[in-house]
Amino acid sequence: MAASSCGAMTEDIGILTGDKLILRGLKLHGFHGVKPEEKKLGQKFLVDVDAWMDLRLAGKSDLLSDTVSYTDIYRIEKEVVEGQSPNLLESVAQLIASTTLTKYSQISAVRVKVGKPHVAVHGPLDYLGVEIIRYRSIDAPNRPLLNICM
């Protein structure tokens, strides 16, 4: 998050306290990992997504057209996890985040958590994984970066 030295992160931090859509505990089967057996057999992945956007209009109108449907974000998660086969969870999370920001201009930021509950480590655990946060003002493709440091 080197952008914080440019001031871009300052305006985005407020986003994380606003309205958001929440998807929790999605269990999907994918073929991600660096080991051959992960690519061949696949495994379960746990995915959580928070998508920040202003929900006032939808709250007042009660119209689906005034928000982003949870099922549309779910489809993105499902397509990414069950589709391509990148090695790293970082890549899986990045694909979910960038696709969500690209498809839905109303979403100002997205947090994606991807976990692997079945990993070869010695000891008890729920899962190992990654969590990323991406901001439209910094990370959305095809949009110029607003705060450029020289």
Strand duo 109-116 + 128-135: pairing: antiparallel
- Per the CB < 8 A criterion, the answer to whether 111 and 49 are in contact is yes
H or E segment to which residue 138 belongs:
helix 136-139
Q: List C-alpha distances in Å: 141 to 97, 136, 144.
A: 11, 8, 8
From 27, 40, 60, 116, the catalytic residue: 116
Start-to-end CA distance of the chain, whole Å, equals 17
Q: Is 103 an annotated catalytic residue?
A: no
Task: Catalogue the active-site residues.
Answer: 116
